[in-house]
Structure 1
Amino acid sequence: MNLQYLVREPKIRLDKNPLLLLLHGYGSNEEDLFSFAAELPEDSFVISVRAPYILEPYGHAWYAIHFDADENKFSDNEQAKESVALIGIFIDEIVKQYPIDTENVTLIGFSQGAILSYATALTYPEKISKVVALSGYFNQDIAPEVIDTKAISHLKFFISHGTVDQVIPVDWARKAKPALENLGLEVVYHEYPVGHGVAPQNFFDFKNWIIQNNNK
């Protein structure tokens, strides 16, 4: 297995169960989002993955973030693309190991994990059905240059952001909905009066969205 992970097996066993794949943010680890695994739908495998790059003392990242002399922040897009490929391989491995419904794989990403979720879904649409993008943005530089709109037409997105997010400006998040709708995709977008985090109402809303869309 190319990435370390935690798993919560479904309480309700089906022949094949849905998968909720959790991708944490920059400087965190697989235990972060896994803390709300118990609250996620009982019919799903919940797997939380650790990003490959180590950040001391105990965090991890999907790709490096650099600062230049003027304190401008920029992403290592090549590392990000490598992590997208790693997630694609990880999904292939995990669906062989567990009885997962390959038609029902949802990425739930926070911050850097959300940025990767957009790119992973558009790169490997045959492996993913839904995306929950929390407090992130759609970085088109790490998405495929040419997107096959027919291949991605089944993808559904739930996007949410805090209106006072001090890490990723809400204006960045707002651009994702029109960009994805231009590709013909179904997008739900919510904002909450919080900073860089997941408000209780936000959790409730995306959980309900997953339940509503699980059989579609």
Structure 2
Amino acid sequence: MRHSFRPFGRFHQRRLFLLPFLFSCLLWAGLSISATQAAEEGASTDLAAQVWQYLTTQNAEQQSTMLASIVQRPDATVQAVQDLLRKGPPHGLQPVGLLSDEQIVVRERPYRLSLSIPQSYEPTRDYALIVCLHGAGFTGEAYLDRWKSRLGEGYILACPTYPAGAWFTRRAEDLVLATVQAVQQRYRIDPNRIFLSGMSNGGIGAWLIGMHHAPLFAGLAPMASGIDDVLFPFLENLRTTPTYIIHGSQDQVMPVELSRKLAEELKNLGYPYIYREHDRTHAMAGGHFFPREELPDLVKWFDNQRRTPVPKALTVVRDASHLLPFGWVRIDATDQIASFSEDLVDKRDDSIRQRTYARLIAQVTGPNRIEVKTDRVRQYTLFLNEDLVDLSKPVVITTDGQVSFEGIITPQVDTLLRQARLRQDPGQLYPAHLTLSVPQRPS
């Protein structure tokens, strides 16, 4: 059986973006039974097939059944499953060229997604992914031509479309994350070469989404944009995520001072960044545009960037609506802190104006020793692997100067798979975790 690809048009039925991957995964496994049957017959089912089904099924009951079945298998050791996850799912031949009208569904709402896939695409090699966010009044498709001619054959370009370019909302944030996962499932992407860029409103989205999900990206490239200074504390999340900023000195829509202040803040933090300020103008847009002349240098920057998937030190700043894994740490519970609404740039809340956020710094300071410093954090979780510590030996963890744990942390297939499903990132695999309460300081 062969799955055929048809472009969407007036006389064609629109398809979901994830279906080709799911079909190819089942075909590769040689399965003619349902996902539930596969879980029940786990003993006779290939381990790899079960793992990929667990990672992709959307049925909660099937997830639980599959996970239990995998964990019970004698061949499902931590090492064996980890090797499978690092290798990645099988990728077959996929459509190439300009795919300007794909569809992706987020929170039961469809969005347009425009893709540029190299004509020479091969499912056996890794490709860098650039996610580009458009400005107000534009679409993702409008950005394809400008980028395509200057990207080499090693890049896949994904340009989602969001109404009015309102990339500063939680739904838009979910769309960007879903875009990355969907493209990864369909095409072979290097997890250490995923970039987020955007122009104008799209640049605002690149800042906001990039700061909240920095461990996912090898670099950010916001253009002609900026953020309110009440959000500056989240720049601390970019400790290991370089930024390439472009802005026009004659921009009358987004004043150049916005990017100048951001560059100065990154400089004060000692974080990696490049700031490019141009004086060009456009007949229609004035100084508020992205000059084509700037793109070659930006692409060269992309060429040289590689994510450090498991850095030895992390800084994470969170509001109450973003208590999600951040690399190998997660803030679980906090004191009373700011919480963003659906609008990620909400300025009406006093706690946001006062920058009342939670902060955690975690660092591997020696062999099997991790030091954690917190502010407004009540509980946190560490996710660990052999890149951070030797899991066969005792680990010492201090929290705010006090020893909060000393002992063995046992790797588990269950933990490995749950985190792999949540993150969908073969570069960040964590078979062990530990949740700790923060000692309360005397008032």
TM-score clears 0.5? yes
Distance 1:182 1:162 in 2: 22
| Counterpart check, 1:29 vs 2:139 | yes
| Counterpart check, 1:40 vs 2:151 | yes
* Residue in structure 2 matching 1:169, options 255, 268, 277: 255
What is the CA-CA distance between 1:182 and the residue it aligns to? 3.9
Give the number of the structure with larger relative contact order, counting CA–CA contacts within 8 Å between residues 6 or more apart.
Answer: 1
1:174 is paired with a residue whose SS is helix
| Counterpart check, 1:106 vs 2:195 | yes
| 1:76 matched residue in structure 2 | none
Map 1:1-216 → 2, pairs under 5 A: 1-2=104-105, 3-10=111-118, 11=120, 13=122, 15-36=125-146, 37-51=148-162, 53=163, 60-62=164-166, 80-139=169-228, 149=237, 152-194=238-280, 195-213=287-305
What is the CA-CA distance between 1:33 and the residue it aligns to? 1.5
Query: What letter is aligned with 2:201?
Result: Q
Query: What letter is aligned with 1:99?
Result: R
Q: How far does the alpha carbon of each residue in 1:38-74 deviate from its partner, in whole angstroms, 9 at most, with x for none?
A: 22122011111111x2xxxxxx3225xxxxxxxxxxx
Superposition TM-score, scaled by structure 1 size: 0.78
Aligned residues: 191
Distance 1:162 1:210 in 2: 21
| 1:56 matched residue in structure 2 | none
Q: How far does the alpha carbon of each residue in 1:142-187 deviate from its partner, in whole angstroms, 9 at most, with x for none?
A: 68x66764xx432111101111011101111211112233444211
1:86 is paired with a residue whose SS is helix
Q: Which has the larger radius of gyration?
A: 2
Superposition CA RMSD, Å: 2.4
Structure 1 87/19 Cα, relative in aligned 2: closer, same or farther at 3 Å? same
Distance 1:100 1:142 in 2: 31
| 1:74 matched residue in structure 2 | none
Distance 1:126 1:212 in 2: 17
Query: What letter is aligned with 2:276?
Result: H
2:227 is paired with a residue whose SS is coil
Contact 1:91 1:127 in 2 (8 A): no
Q: How far does the alpha carbon of each residue in 1:2-61 deviate from its partner, in whole angstroms, 9 at most, with x for none?
A: 33211111336462211011110011111222122222122011111111x2xxxxxx32
Superposition TM-score, scaled by structure 2 size: 0.40
Structure 1 198/147 Cα, relative in aligned 2: closer, same or farther at 3 Å? closer
Unaligned runs of 5+ in 2: 1-103, 106-110, 281-286, 309-443
Query: What letter is aligned with 1:116?
Result: G
Distance 2:228 2:189 in 1: 29
Q: How far does the alpha carbon of each residue in 1:87-107 deviate from its partner, in whole angstroms, 9 at most, with x for none?
A: 123222221222111211011
Distance 2:296 2:176 in 1: 26
Distance 1:26 1:134 in 2: 13
Contact 1:114 1:134 in 2 (8 A): yes
Distance 1:139 1:97 in 2: 36
Structure 1 80/22 Cα, relative in aligned 2: closer, same or farther at 3 Å? same
Q: How far does the alpha carbon of each residue in 1:91-128 deviate from its partner, in whole angstroms, 9 at most, with x for none?
A: 22221222111211011211111111011111112221
Contact 2:218 2:306 in 1 (8 A): no
Unaligned runs of 5+ in 1: 54-59, 64-78
1:175 is paired with a residue whose SS is helix
Distance 1:182 1:93 in 2: 36
Contact 1:22 1:34 in 2 (8 A): no
Contact 2:150 2:295 in 1 (8 A): no
Contact 1:131 1:158 in 2 (8 A): yes
